[in-house]
Structure 1
């Protein structure tokens, strides 16, 4: 582990962008997407009006917003408690997607992004252009987090499907453990007509390769406002014995319940529901809920009854994010029920969004700071913060952003053709392909050279 990690700084970062997000009159998503139904859109050029002022490398850095969960995980004595917190970290990395319907800029080949914040440091690099692959490595005092993402974007007719292919891994050296998982698909709905909204959907399986423990989380499809954003699943050991039930909303929180409490609550809920259904039957009414719907209600409860010691350690804000505080703001939740459940505790709760987040691409406070240029920064010349197209869009100059985006893409094409004539392949500077000892899959591995060499590169991509 590095001896030069940044301290937990008390620096105040900006809480809004230089200019608000204003859609121009030329914004017409259908005009771009109508010819791509069922096709992979990663290579399709998009107008800058589709973008948010961040590179995809910076979006990957948002996975570290709740990095303190990994520090807490490293301090736990038993593997189930460590799995709880690693699972909470995995879910927390998706919370930033709520309300985010604009597309990050595609990184240029060789582009990098570095971040030093709150006891960790992170480096990202665009290691491949065809196919586009982004690799990253982050480290804190007691953990490492690394992986690569090969995003696929497909237009399904009424929605966009974003598939973040790739494996993410957390290492806890103090326990000699490695955890791996892949993120679930993200869907942007109503891209042609209606109000855009985002959901995560699919199954995420987190594996502890030392103990054989797994955590399988199902991200539910949103069939109604009450079921939106739901995630739930179990932690079990290599013998398939269940140890914890996890549930929550990927936009807001994740909670844990021991199996005995889970069974007791389920039994009590079924008894109450059975009594209610009998009353309805006698009254000639039809039951509207099945006997195992209790935990769909659990995912709609308010957070107050479940604050635990974990919340105090994480300094979690408990102001409810359910009520929009400004006109145009989206509601993260449709919380309308309060249902007691003994034995439940909060593992993670999202920070409330800025009150005017809807004016700034629905960025979180963490995201607002990722493209901020500070006077004391000594950045690698290929850092995303130095991209003129992103900087122009952030400042509200869409015309300049579009022109710079076109210039950079043309420069990248010409550089690729020149390498092709020389029969020279692109070689990433900070990551190399290696086979993982845990998954036996070839992936991009950090070469531990960025921080020493970042100021020596002569690569010119901007």
Structure 2
């Protein structure tokens, strides 16, 4: 028994220490040349096992790679029986052209990456590894180029079905079980099947297009109704004013009464004839004035009617007019701008991070029922507005994108900037404080500046705007929180994109960046809390290029930049470390390299985050709603958790009282339609920096920090 335990331990140790570094995925068509004709089949015995399932038994199969499909039988006899007509089914069939195949040469095996899992395929005879490698490469290209028949392609890139014991179950794959063998169906039947599939695809495309048109028409009708209601109210007001004008004219009060000045002139006339001539002239002047007033009223009515006719047009034009006026103000400065003189910044916080108290899910439930806030030890001394500003840490990437001549390079640098914002969450275990409604924050550097505002409390919405030489950036942060009762994780999803505008050599370009999901593991224990980002990031631009980045496990990401549907280059890296551009020629260039700095004793902040909550000085001209003036946040930063908890509770109670008696209107942002994304987002009204230069004289601020 001791020897068996020792052997088991060594086996486990070898499994854990074994290298699983994958190679480069096999190339896709049309980036690689397709072989001429159907490649020869490859046959042999293989093993198949799901990756990361260490205790699942490895299954052995007899495999045949032919016409772009990998067919698996439980043994060679089943294959021979099938060829002899004794059976018409195989265990499973995999479309090699629809899955990603990553060769792992060191282990003499292949990783078949499906949407839901990864299967490890290994030839039993290791000497045939190169034969299988060439076969997989050629059959993938052959299938992606349209070979192999449409009927076989219907199986798609599905994972091999498995039963509870880990064995492949032929009953779980009806498409594979009833598909005809290669070459067994007549050519005319294959042709008819191809035509039927093409017709079905065409009908589905038409249905999708019809559905999209229906949604567009519905949104157009809703927008038209809203505009008509607005103009109806305007016309009612105009009619009331017109009636008042007509009544005043009928009463003879307009143009017929002499002013004191005219009475003085009348006293100067020497005879009644002169006075009568003067009165005639005044009557003619009154008639001219009445005619002019009539023409003015008609002109105003005509303008209202023209406005009504314009509303009958599609609402996209109205949206472009509305957002166009704002975007004329939101213009990237073309010439270098210096917003302030360089200033020294602090390099640490006044006090180190305090120990956090654990809180189970039951404790969270009790706090939710009693409407009590989270313990102050769950938070870091930053507001969510400052957390939003933290995404601009690597804003020099935007300056590089402005100066780049190639649109592919610009899109790659914009993608690197979008990824860099997530690197700040590495090592962070506490959450930022929820801003008070009306709270604001600004940050000024010589080459760029930022200002933000909390524009809504329920739901919590934060708006931010930043600008530098040749670029402007704005974002509406509206996180939607979903809590998993089973795993105890919290997932944050943002529905509104980041908006960006660059003044490039080719003209003004706009970008929209859709963010990925953020998952927080063990949210009830700040000491063990982990933050991860997964999902697909989509970046679109008005220059015709787009980008898709996939955030996967182990902080890895990979993606492509497209010109239409053609891949222009590939991207790969880690969201917490770096991003690399891989050209179609194979040349690699580094786009972004995260600074290797992290201060764990100061809440995991980096050197840039340290500067966000610096105490304000008179030279800062900060408004009374600035986050840096928030008392509970300052007490938490100074290492006084008891005082911070009391102040936080008082601020939140005062906010609830104000919410019941006062309606809130943001001071620095307006909610309006965005022309590019067709979504309603908050855009700056471009008044903040003008009022800041005046030290906010005459601006009425809500009293949000007095306790």
The aligned counterpart of 1:282 is: none
2:345 aligned with 1:13, yes or no?
Answer: yes
* Deviation, structure 1 residue 51: 0.6
> How far, CA to CA, are the matches of 2:337 and 2:389 in structure 1?
16
* Deviation, structure 1 residue 46: 2.0
> How far, CA to CA, are the matches of 1:152 and 1:35 in structure 2?
22
Please list, as runs of the form range in 1=range in 2, the aligned pairs for 1:116-131 lying within 5 A after superposition: 116-131=444-459
* Deviation, structure 1 residue 196: 2.4
Q: Deviations over 1:11-47 (max 9, x none)?
A: 33112111011115x44254543569xx9x9x98322
Counterpart secondary structure, 2:394 = coil
> How far, CA to CA, are the matches of 2:609 and 2:416 in structure 1?
19
2:646 aligned with 1:411, yes or no?
Answer: no
2:271 aligned with 1:33, yes or no?
Answer: no
The aligned counterpart of 1:360 is: 602
* Deviation, structure 1 residue 155: 2.6
Contact map agreement 2:401 2:410 (CA 8 A) in 1: yes
Contact map agreement 1:27 1:49 (CA 8 A) in 2: no
* Deviation, structure 1 residue 345: 1.1
* Deviation, structure 1 residue 433: 1.2
Contact map agreement 1:150 1:166 (CA 8 A) in 2: yes
The aligned counterpart of 2:555 is: 229
2:620 aligned with 1:382, yes or no?
Answer: no
From 134, 153, 163, give the equivalent of 2:493.
Answer: 163
The aligned counterpart of 1:101 is: 429
Counterpart secondary structure, 1:429 = coil
* Deviation, structure 1 residue 212: 2.4
* Deviation, structure 1 residue 79: 1.1
From 529, 534, 547, give the equivalent of 1:215.
Answer: 547
The aligned counterpart of 1:242 is: 567
**Compared CA separation, residues 453 and 192, structure 1 to 2 (3 A):** closer
Contact map agreement 2:480 2:492 (CA 8 A) in 1: yes
* Structure showing greater relative contact order (alpha-carbon pairs closer than 8 Å, 6 or more residues apart): 1
The aligned counterpart of 1:323 is: none
**Compared CA separation, residues 8 and 233, structure 1 to 2 (3 A):** farther
Q: Which has the larger radius of gyration?
A: 2
The aligned counterpart of 2:439 is: 111
The aligned counterpart of 2:383 is: 55
Provide TM-score, normalisation by structure 2. Answer: 0.49
Please list, as runs of the form range in 1=range in 2, the aligned pairs for 1:182-331 lying within 5 A after superposition: 182-191=514-523, 195-208=528-541, 210-221=542-553, 228-238=554-564, 240-261=565-586
> How far, CA to CA, are the matches of 1:242 and 1:184 in structure 2?
22
> How far, CA to CA, are the matches of 1:440 and 1:216 in structure 2?
20
**Compared CA separation, residues 191 and 417, structure 1 to 2 (3 A):** closer
Counterpart secondary structure, 2:478 = strand
2:502 aligned with 1:172, yes or no?
Answer: yes
Q: Deviations over 1:80-120 (max 9, x none)?
A: 11001000000001110112121111111111010112411
Contact map agreement 2:336 2:469 (CA 8 A) in 1: no
> How far, CA to CA, are the matches of 1:147 and 1:205 in structure 2?
15
From 327, 330, 351, give the equivalent of 2:595.
Answer: 351
> How far, CA to CA, are the matches of 1:218 and 1:33 in structure 2?
33
Provide TM-score, normalisation by structure 1. Answer: 0.74
Residue ranges of structure 2 left out of the alignment (5+ in a row): 1-331
Counterpart secondary structure, 2:700 = coil
Contact map agreement 1:220 1:230 (CA 8 A) in 2: yes
Higher helix proportion = 2
Aligned residue pairs total 361
**Compared CA separation, residues 192 and 428, structure 1 to 2 (3 A):** closer
Q: Deviations over 1:381-416 (max 9, x none)?
A: 111000001000000111111111111111111111
Counterpart secondary structure, 1:401 = helix
> How far, CA to CA, are the matches of 2:344 and 2:432 in structure 1?
25
Contact map agreement 1:6 1:116 (CA 8 A) in 2: no
From 394, 403, 406, give the equivalent of 2:637.
Answer: 394
**Compared CA separation, residues 112 and 4, structure 1 to 2 (3 A):** farther
> How large is the Cα RMSD of the aligned pairs?
2.2
> How far, CA to CA, are the matches of 2:340 and 2:571 in structure 1?
30
> How far, CA to CA, are the matches of 2:364 and 2:503 in structure 1?
46
* Deviation, structure 1 residue 158: 2.8
> How far, CA to CA, are the matches of 1:44 and 1:207 in structure 2?
42
Counterpart secondary structure, 1:437 = coil
* Deviation, structure 1 residue 374: 4.7
**Compared CA separation, residues 8 and 453, structure 1 to 2 (3 A):** closer
The aligned counterpart of 1:373 is: 615
Contact map agreement 2:520 2:532 (CA 8 A) in 1: yes
